[in-house]
Structure 1
């Protein structure tokens, strides 16, 4: 069937600017980590991607390492078949820094690694350029200036329009931001793990650092592997798998986290929302958050998350209650 984009696709989901840059993102972006490529059938992925675009999600976040490249190939198939005519509307992002291929150049941030990884990503996704290229993680081995200058070169070559960093600490972000400013590189900000249960982005100063440089923050892992949804309201298994960036939340045991999500769910119900919808809206209460990356393997979950836009405002009383629960 020939795809025709919904005419009302920009009516419901608000868009946001990344600091004072020219990069504008939908408040929700679709992430390809875990849910695209691999064992997921292409037809199912296509359905999710096109429904996302039809509902105002025009930003698609990928990485060279996701599903060993299958995630980027999945996007490439759908782009070539269905979305190519809409290229000027799309924000396509990718990252490099985690393991991509064998050998010493298969990871981190050397010039050779980044150049090779981005060329491979463009090939997989059938693109001439990406809208944002991210350094996926801090490289303790490579001179920071080499990393920044390589990313600047990618922009000057027309292979990326903007650059960003991901998983950078406050100190690391503050170290690279001035280099990009000196080079005149269009730098948009930091993509980090951030959710109601994992507030490291707040407590370690990452959000403040992004704001002080007039850049934006993109939050990934907003539902903490499903903890901030209906899935674990009855209890959290002792062997609950969780992303490395959020593992610390179990330092006081799973019962502590379970009590928090039950309390948060009560507030969400009072707001007429699901817990997941409130968790997404809560992140977006801060204007320095440019977008929140959601993952979805099924269209029904995607559409459920998008409905968070129906109630994005919080009263002071609600915010105080949420803070009280989270600080227990």
Structure 2
């Protein structure tokens, strides 16, 4: 059985999740990539247990994380059973449903049938009675939003989730969801959007998504702050063999065009001047806005996770640094979740 470091809460920064009573770590660990069957279980275990020792109390999953779908929850469930049983009440565990999980008409989308069946499956895979946060992973235009939110309310009312959240909903859809939630007696406490130096959609519009969340007192757990690895030193000189971009999938090689890489290299120079890696500066940058509660990072190794947490050592930016960063923090067309999630 794993014995956690006694000093694990001393150096981590915690932020209140909107106007809820929930504090979340400024950096959380997401199990989207690197926690499926293709990666050694012991490496996955080492990363998660090191996260706990670093004071990362929030572990984020979804039903389809793997590959294959469900395997990340299955592996994390093993860690809970073998190493983290006594720490369950110290952890905030989240999962989601919204994307295709099984064949047929009930294995995808935002219906009550799918969401609650998926949540029950997730709980079985992880060996849990409840999750702390259950998200609608995406807006589903084929299902009435009232039905989707009603399923979240059932999840909370039944004790299968403590908090309800939504992910990748636009400002307009979030406002619509909040109005319906108020009508049915559901409290939406957290939103999980993508956000990075190369994907700033949450800042756009009047009001912007960040404006809506700030006004409503909803916390924001932003995912892909490193733009799936583009905001690291990995791709500064091209696409290495064996990298995520080389393997294909969610990080497409066309994203790494010369225009974008020119901006990434300029951002890397600014990070070096700040005494940070590019990844650390990218994480610090999304956390500069007080409406952002948490930066959700992935990790393929303990060293990578430790480096990400090192971003907390320098979260301050001068006005000059922010101006220089703005010139290179340009949209790179990498928000692959937009057309499948909502009208942005």
**2:279 aligned with 1:280, yes or no?**
no
2:257 pairs with 248, 254, 258, which one? 254
- Which position in structure 2 is the counterpart of 1:20? 19
Alpha-carbon contact 1:23-1:188 (below 8 Å) kept: no
Aligned to 1:3: 2
Alpha-carbon contact 1:222-1:292 (below 8 Å) kept: yes
CA distance in 2, matches of 1:272, 1:140: 45
Flag structure 1 segments of 5+ consecutive residues without an equivalent: none
Alignment of 1:104-253 (within 5 A): 104-204=105-205, 205-235=208-238, 241=248, 243=250, 250=255
2:297 aligned partner: 294
Distance in 1, Cα, partners of 2:181 & 2:20 = 13
SS at match of 2:293: strand
- Would you say the 8 A contact 1:35–1:297 is kept in 2? yes
Aligned 8 A contact 1:194 1:219 in 2: yes
- How far 1:189 moved relative to its partner? 2.7
312-321 or 68-77, which deviates more: 312-321
* 1:311 counterpart = 2:314: yes
Q: Assess if the C-alpha contact under 8 Å between 1:161 and 1:186 holds in 2.
A: no
1:128-153 CA distances to partner (integer Å, 9 max, x unpaired)?
10000000011111111111111111
**C-alpha spacing 1:242/1:268, structure 2 compared with 1 (3 Å):** farther
Q: TM-score, normalising length from structure 1?
A: 0.94
Partners of 2:287 and 2:273 lie apart in 1 by: 19
Are the aligned partners of 1:236 and 1:258 in contact in 2 as well (CA < 8 Å)?
Answer: no
Aligned-partner Cα distance in 1 for 2:239–2:60: 29
Counterpart position of 2:334 = none
Cα deviation for residue 242 of structure 1 reads: 6.9
Q: Which moved more, 1:171-180 or 1:117-126?
A: 171-180
Q: Which residue of 1 aligns with 2:35?
A: 36
Paired position in structure 1 for 2:340: none
The answer to whether the 8 A contact 2:197-2:330 is kept is no
> What is the deviation of 1:181?
2.4
Superposed CA deviations along residues 277-305 of structure 1, whole A, max 9, x for unmatched, are: 00000000011111111111211111111
Residue by residue, what CA displacement relative to the aligned partner does 1:94-142 show, whole Å, maximum 9, x if unpaired? 0001011110000111111111000000000111100000000111111
Match of 1:266 among 266, 269, 275: 269
Give the distance between the partners of 1:236 and 1:6, measured in 2 at CA.
38
Q: CA deviation at 1:183?
A: 3.0
Q: What TM-score does the superposition give when structure 2 sets the normalisation length?
A: 0.89
Which consecutive aligned stretches of 4+ in structure 1 deviate over 3 angstroms post-superposition?
Answer: 239-244
**Deviation per CA, 1:140-184, whole angstroms, max 9, x where unpaired?**
111111111111111110000001101111111111012222333
Contact 1:30 1:293 in 2 (8 A): yes
